[in-house]
Amino acid sequence: MSVSVTFLGTGGSIPSKFRNLPSVLLRRGPELFLFDCGEGTQKQFLQAKAGTNRKMRIFISHMHGDHVFGLPGLLHSLSFMGRTTELEIVGPKGIRDLVTGVNRVVKLYSRFPILIKEARSGRVVDEAEYEVRAAPAEHGMPCLAYAFIEKPRPGRFDPSKAKRLGIPEGPLWKKLQTSQSIRVGRRRVASRLVIGPPRPGVKVTYAVDTRPCRAVVSLAARSDLLIHDSCFEESASAKAKDYGHSTASEAAQVAKRSRSKKLALFHISAMYEDPTPLLTQAKKVFPAAFLSTDMATVRVGQ
């Protein structure tokens, strides 16, 4: 199943002329995973044609306004647009109070069940084909980094091998494709004879509002795409440290140490109208770095 990532908002703290507040939409086939929901996310979500009634989960990193102020608006609008499917929200302590508090005072008119899960770390979602793990980021308040991890996919079925073994096309092929052994006459044929080795799934890690830290490096191990806090350039490294953020080159160090394949520089401060220096500095450490931009979509994995 194809996996893509659309950057709905790539700025941080306050919006700028070019960047909305943080939010990333991951699509896996028909399913949606939204990481953070800064103010204005609902408009970007509509523009991305994400669909209103799909299976969807929202993951909130932490309870700073730039990451959550878009949530009430999005929930409110999804109801008006006719959503009826349950929606799950995962976040640190405080996420339940936020949603229930807004609902009590303003009314979200939600026509769909909202399931809220307050999490600390570890596996927060476990499905047959994928899981989502959380790890504590370093931001001076409870803040979670998330990794979307597809479980290994079954190997590819090789029809020519099946034909060579004299297995007629039809129900027997189907059985082999689902890793079952079959019988052809007196012969037993194991599925491994016609199916290749398992293929690794896709991994995307979202780590924002964080200092570079060991927990994120290990969560992000071998990600196809690491989306990392890159608030500042190198000359503002003291500021990054004070505010619990990372410079672009620190993000690049995390990408390198975690052996990730690609790095998206994300949560870029509004003070950089032209963030090219951030990219240049990151690329010196990790050449596969790129600047995330609002509404850009990247395909991940095969």
Query: 66 catalytic, yes or no?
Result: yes
Residues shown for the chain: 302
Per-residue x/- mask for Zn ion, residues 197 to 236, rule CB under 5 A? ------------x---------------------------
Based on CB atoms, which residue is closest to Zn ion, 140 or 152?
140
Q: Give the containing element (helix H, strand E) for 288.
A: none
Cβ distance 212 to 248 under 8 Å? no
| Whole-number Å distance between alpha carbons of 232 and 88 | 32
∠176-178-179 over CA atoms, to 5°? 65
Q: Which helix (H) or strand (E) holds 254?
A: helix 248-257
Residue given tokens 């016609």 in the structure block: 194
263-266 and 203-207 as β-strands: parallel, antiparallel, unpaired? Answer: unpaired
CB of 13 to Zn ion, least distance (A): 6
The C-alpha atoms of residue 142 and residue 91 are separated, in whole angstroms, by 10
Binding range to Zn ion, per CB under 5 A, among 10-18, 117-125, 252-260, 268-276: 10-18
Contact flags string 64-93 toward Zn ion, x per CB under 5 A: x-x---------------------------
Stretch that binds Zn ion, among 12-20, 47-55, 210-218, 252-260 (CB under 5 A): 12-20
Within residues 38-67, the interface with Zn ion by CB under 5 A covers 64, 66
- What is the smallest separation between the CB atom of 224 and Zn ion, expressed in angstroms? 24
| Strand, coil or helix: 189 | strand
Q: How far is the CB of 167 from Zn ion (least distance, A)?
A: 56
Q: Which residues are registered as beta bridge partners of 206?
A: 146, 227
Q: How far is residue 53's CA from residue 288's CA, in Å, rounded to a whole number?
A: 35
Nearer to Zn ion, 9 or 12 (CB): 12
Alpha-carbon distances of 142 from 60, 66, 102, 121, 243, rounded to whole Å: 11, 15, 21, 11, 14
* Catalytic-role residue among 66, 209, 224, 294: 66
- Find the shortest distance in angstroms from Cβ 105 to Zn ion: 24
Structure tokens at 12: 């941080």
Total of chain residues touching Zn ion, rule CB under 5 A: 4
Which DSSP symbol is given to 167? P
DSSP string for residues in 272-298: -SS-HHHHHHHHHH-TTEEE--TT-EE
The smaller minimum CB distance to Zn ion, of residues 22 and 73, is found at 22
Q: How far is the CB of 139 from Zn ion (least distance, A)?
A: 6
Options 12, 70, 212, 275; binder of Zn ion; rule CB under 5 A: 12
Q: Site residues (CB under 5 A) for Zn ion? A: 12, 64, 66, 209
Positions annotated as catalytic residues are 66
